[in-house]
Amino acid sequence: MLESIGWAIFSLIVYPGLLFSFILGGFYDWVKRKIEARAQSRRGPPWYQSYADFFKLMFKEQIIPVTASRYMILAPFISLASLLLALLIIPFGFVNPPVSFMGDLIVLIYLLAVPSFTVVLAGSSSSSPYGSIGASREISLLIAEELPFVISILSPAIVVGSLNFSEIVNYQLNHTWFLILNPFAAVALFICLIAKLSLRPFDIPEAEQEIVAGPYTEYGGPLYGIFTLSNFVKWVIMGALFSSLFLGGGDGLPSPWNVLWFLVKITLVVIVMALIHVANARFRIDQAFKWYLTGILGLSFAGLILAIIMV
Amino acid sequence: MIFSPLTIVILLFASSIIAYILGKISGKAAGIFSTLVSLVSLVMVIFLLFPGGEMFSFSYNGLMVNSLTVFIAFIPAFLGFLSLLYSISYVKDNFAWYYAFTLMFIGSMIGLAFSWNLLWMYILLELTTITSAILVAHKRDEKSFEAALKYAFQCFFAGFLALIGIVLLYTQTGTLNILELQPLTSQIGLLSTILIMVGFGIKIPFILLHAWLPDAHAEAPSPVSCLLSGAMIKVGAVATFLPLFKFFQLTSFSGFNLAFCWLGVLTMIVGAFMALIQSDVKRLLAYCSVSQMGYVVVGLSLGTPLGVVAGLFHALNHAIAKGLLFLGAGVVEHETGTRNMDKLGGLAKNMPLTAATMIIASLGLAGIPLLNGFNSKWMIYEACIEAGQPLIAIVGMLVSVLTLLYLLKMVHSVFLGLKVSENFKNVSDPSILMVFPLLLLSSLCILFGVIPQLPIQLILVHAAKAFTPSPLPLSFFPIITEIGVWGPTYATLLMVLGLIVGFLLYRFSVKPARKIEFSDKFLPFTGGLTKPPYISIKEAKVPSKPFSFAVEPVSRMFKRFHTGMLNHYFAWIILFFLIFYLLFMFIGGY
pLDDT tens digit string along B392-416?
988 898 888 888 888 888 888 788 7
pTM: 0.90
DSSP result, B443-489: HHHHHHHH-THHHIIIIIHHHGGGT-SSPP---SSSEE-SS-EE-HH
**Cβ pair A85:B346 closer than 8 A:** no
Indicate whether B536 pLDDT > 60.
no
**pLDDT at residue A199 above 70?**
yes
Instruction: Enter the DSSP assignment of B416.
Output: S
ipTM: 0.88
CA distance B240 to A14: 52
Cα of B590 vs its chain's centroid, Å? 36
Q: Which of A71, A101, A128 sits opposite B490 (nearest CB)?
A: A101
Per-residue pLDDT, averaged over B335-360, amounts to 82
Domain range enclosing A21 = 2-310
- Distance (Å) of CA A106 to CA A147, A151, B493, B508: 13, 11, 19, 35
Amino acid B525: pLDDT: 43
Question: In the prediction, which pLDDT does B513 show?
Answer: 62
**Nearest chain B CA: its distance from A243 CA (Å):** 21
**Interface check A114 vs B, CB under 8 A:** yes
In Å, how far are A123, A251, B522 from B527, measured between CA atoms?
13, 44, 12
Average pLDDT over residues B351-375: 88
Mean pLDDT confidence for B362-372: 87
DSSP states of B128-183 as a string?
HHHHHHHHHGGG-SHHHHHHHHHHHHHHHHHHHHHHHHHHHHHHHHS--BGGG---
Check pLDDT > 60 for residue A155: yes
Q: Does the beta carbon of A152 lie under 8 angstroms from any beta carbon of chain B?
A: no
Q: Which band of pLDDT confidence, cut at 50, 70 and 90, is reported for residue B333?
A: confident
Average pLDDT for residues B328-351, to the nearest whole number?
82
Question: Is B510–A222 a contact, with Cβ atoms under 8 angstroms apart?
Answer: yes
**B222/A240 Cα distance (integer angstroms):** 48
66-95 of A, contacting B, C-beta below 8 A:
66-71, 76-78, 80-82, 84-85, 88
Number of separate helices (H) and strands (E) present in chain B: 22, 5
* Residue B510 DSSP one-character state: P
Distance from CA of A66 to the nearest CA of B (A): 5
pLDDT of A10 higher than 80: no
Interface test with A, best of B265, B420, B490 (most A CBs within 10 A): B490
Q: A217 versus B510: which is more confidently predicted? A: A217
State whether residue A162 sits within 8 Å of chain B by CB.
yes
Q: Is pLDDT of B55 > 60?
A: no
Whether the pLDDT of residue A2 is over 80: the answer is no
Mean pLDDT of A86-104: 67
The strand pair at B479-480 and B485-486 is best described as: antiparallel
Asked whether A112 and A236 are in contact (CB, 8 A), the reply is: no
pLDDT band at B361 (very low <50, low <70, confident <90, very high): very high
Beta carbons within 10 angstroms of residue B30's beta carbon? 26
Query: What pLDDT is recorded for position A102?
Result: 62
Using the predicted structure, report yes or no on whether residue B518 has a pLDDT greater than 60. Answer: no
Nearest to A133 among B394, B495, B530 (CB): B530
Q: Which has the closest alpha carbon to A160: A94, A111, A103, A112?
A: A103
**Residues B246-302 pLDDT 10s:** 888 888 888 888 999 999 999 999 888 888 888 888 888 999 999 999 999 999 998
Backbone angles phi, psi at B516, to 5 degrees: -115, 150
Give the pLDDT confidence score for residue B265 in this predicted structure.
93
Spatial separation of the C-alpha atoms in residues B22 and B9, rounded to whole Å? 20
User: How far is the C-alpha of A52 from the C-alpha of A228, rounded, in Å?
Assistant: 12
Domain count, chain A: 1
Closest B-chain CA to A2: B490
Whether pLDDT at B516 is above 60 = no
* Extended strands (E) in chain A: 63-65
| List of residues 6+ apart from A78 with CB closer than 8 A | A114, A118, A121, B499
CA-to-CA separations, A297 to A149, A287, A300, in angstroms, rounded? 9, 14, 5
Residue A277 has pLDDT above 70, yes or no: yes
C-alpha to C-alpha distance for B122 and B229, rounded to whole angstroms? 20
B453, pLDDT greater than 50: yes
Closest to B322 in 3D by CA, of B268, B281, B365, B290: B365
Reported as a single tens digit per residue, the pLDDT across A209-234 is 777 777 888 787 888 888 898 999 99
Tell whether the model's pLDDT for residue B542 goes beyond 50.
no
Give the distance from residue A233's alpha carbon to the nearest chain B alpha carbon, in angstroms.
12
A129-133, A171-175, B212-216, B451-455: which range is least confident on average?
A129-133
- State the amino acid at position B425 in one-letter form: K
Q: Work out the pLDDT band at B570, boundaries 50, 70, 90.
A: confident
Q: Give the confidence band of A96 by pLDDT, cuts at 50, 70, 90.
A: low
Lowest mean pLDDT among B29-38, B553-562, B565-574: B553-562
DSSP string, B516-576: E-------SS--S--PSP---TTT----SSTTHHHHHHHHHHHHHH----HHHHHHHHHHH
8-state DSSP, B232: I
Q: What is the pLDDT of residues B61-102, one digit of tens each?
A: 778 888 888 889 999 999 999 999 998 888 888 888 899 999
B546 pLDDT higher than 60: no
Tens-digit pLDDT profile for residues A98-142: 556 666 788 888 888 888 889 888 887 877 777 777 877 887 788
Is B401 close to A113, i.e. CB distance below 8 A? yes
The confidence score (pLDDT) of residue A137 equals 80
Mean pLDDT value across chain B? 83
Half-sphere exposure of B311 (CA within 13 A, CB side): 31
Beta carbons of B549 and A107 less than 8 Å apart: no
Residue B186 φ/ψ, nearest 5 degrees: -85, 165
Q: Which residue(s) pair with B177 in the sheet?
A: B117
Q: Which pLDDT score, from 0 to 100, does residue A99 have?
A: 57
Please check the confidence at residue B36 and state whether its pLDDT lies above 90: yes
Q: Which stretch of A165-169, B40-44, B223-227 has the lowest confidence by average pLDDT?
A: A165-169
Distance from CA of B420 to the nearest CA of A (A): 11
CA distance A176 to chain B (A): 22
SS (H, E, C) B555-568: HHHHHHHCCCCHHH
**With left for phi above 0 and alpha for psi between -120 and 50, is residue A164 left, alpha or beta?**
beta
Q: Considering only CA atoms, which of B39, B35, B32, B31 is closest in space to residue B8?
A: B39
Q: What is the DSSP letter of A249?
A: T
> What is the reported pLDDT for B517?
52
CA-based nearest distance A184→chain B, Å: 17
Nearest residue in chain B measured CA to CA from A162: B483
* CB < 8 Å to A144, chain B: 550
